[in-house]
Amino acid sequence: ALGNRFETTGDPANLTLLFGGGPGDFGERGLSHLAKTKNDVCMLRRTIGGHYGQVPKVAELALKDVVEAWTLPMGSISRMIRAQSTHSPGHITNVGLGTDVDPDISGGAANESEAKSPLHSQLVTKIDIGGQKHLMYKALPINIAIIRGTTADGQGNITVEHESLLCDQKIIAAAAKNSGGIVIA
């Protein structure tokens, strides 16, 4: 519905898409619906993802440098979302030190467009704790969380017993609520 609305009205546009893994079907479904362009305006402005394999249309935008793109460890993205759900500044770990995620290398940048982004050099920072280097993956506000559930009731309770993956549905919903955002199920 969001993709169709953008194709009709050009709105919403310039969105940031934050995802871990598995948000599509290797083709047209899932978050691939957000990989739209109309009159040289892209529905997405930036993507921050764990892997892009299941959303090839989003990956294509990143590879063609149409959107700012970052690739971060999937577990660290999950912890970034969890940090936002608890009002923490970010997730601190040694995961990614010395890799492309390290800000001394590329900070997880997947293309050149990110260099112009206000998130450049802020998404992943290197910090020192007790003389040891760590990375901090910044918690980001979640304005809208899109989750999938099996069933819902009139009060908005969602069940997930028949979903293929049970991963970040609860924490991204909490992060959206703690950011003053909404949850679409």
Full DSSP string of 36-84? -EETTEESEEEEEES--TT-HHHHHHHHTTSSEEEE--HHHHHHHHHHH
What's the pLDDT at 51?
A: 86
What's the pLDDT at 79?
A: 95
What's the pLDDT at 97?
A: 96
Asked if 91 contacts 136 with a C-beta cutoff of 8 angstroms, the reply is yes
With 80 as the cut, is the pLDDT of residue 156 above it?
A: yes
What's the pLDDT at 22?
A: 66
Give, to the nearest 10 degrees, the angle between helix 74-85 and helix 169-178. 40
Residues 150-164: what's their mean pLDDT? 87
Q: What is the pLDDT of residues 27-58, one digit of tens each?
A: 777 888 899 998 889 999 999 999 888 889 99
With 90 as the cut, is the pLDDT of residue 119 above it?
A: no
What's the pLDDT at 120?
A: 64
For the chain, the average pLDDT equals 89
The span from the CA of 84 to the CA of 45, in Å, is 21
With 90 as the cut, is the pLDDT of residue 177 above it?
A: yes
Claim: this prediction has a pTM higher than 0.75: yes
Above pLDDT 70, what percent of the chain? 96
